[in-house]
Amino acid sequence: MKVGVISDTHGLLRPEAIAALQGCAQIIHAGDIGSQDIVEQLTAIAPLHIVRGNNDMDADWAKPIADHLRFNIEGWQVLLVHDIADVPALVDDSVKLVVTGHSHKPLIDWRGDTLYLNPGSAGRRRFKLPVTLALLEVSPDAIEPSLVQLVD
């Protein structure tokens, strides 16, 4: 199953991101969404798992969106939070994928048998950081992450 992982759009959903997410069975957005329009555009592509980011907290449209979320993809327990600082130091052993955003720095980090993934920022470029999202190939036996650079 192909899963798209995006974060820190800050109100900008680039055409390159939309193209990269085509064919995904599910999409995960790790917060700092920026507008209800982005939620609607992503939901039109695939079912969406989403959390608020620190920049979404005061927006009326974002009030129904959770600050953290636990769900299952192909038998893998997923913990989704915007800021890695909000991830418990000792993550429950059943969690095999931790998705965060906030830093705008893409990260694929296996800690034992748990994948920590930050897709980076798909919105406006911040400093000299890359503009990225992540794709996951998920099966009951494996998670294979990759980063997609959206602009040079």
- Which secondary-structure segment (H or E) carries 15? helix 15-21
Work out the mean pLDDT of the chain and round it to a whole number. 96
- Chain segment 63-93, per-residue pLDDT in tens: 999 999 999 999 999 999 999 999 987 788 8
Domain count along the chain: 1
pLDDT value, residue 99 = 98
Report the alpha-carbon distance of residue 32 to residue 8 in Å, rounded: 5
Locate 149 and state its tokens. 């650079």
Over residues 12-35, the mean pLDDT reads 98
Q: Percentage of the chain surpassing pLDDT 90?
A: 91
What secondary structure, in 3-state letters, does the chain show?
A: CEEEEECCCCCCCCHHHHHHHCCCCEEEECCCCCCHHHHHHHHHHCCEEECCCCCCCCCHHHCCCCCEEEEEECCEEEEEECCHHHCCCCCCCCEEEEECCCCCCCEEEEECCEEEEECCECCCCCCCCCEEEEEEEECCCCEEEEEEECCC
Give the list of residues 6+ apart from residue 128 with CB closer than 8 angstroms, or none. Answer: none
pLDDT at 109 over 90: yes
* Residue-number span of the structural domain to which 125 is assigned: 2-149
pLDDT at 57 over 90: yes
pLDDT at 98 over 90: yes
The CATH number of residue 73's host domain is 3.60.21.10
In angstroms, the first-to-last Cα distance of the chain is 28
Residue with tokens 């939901």: 43
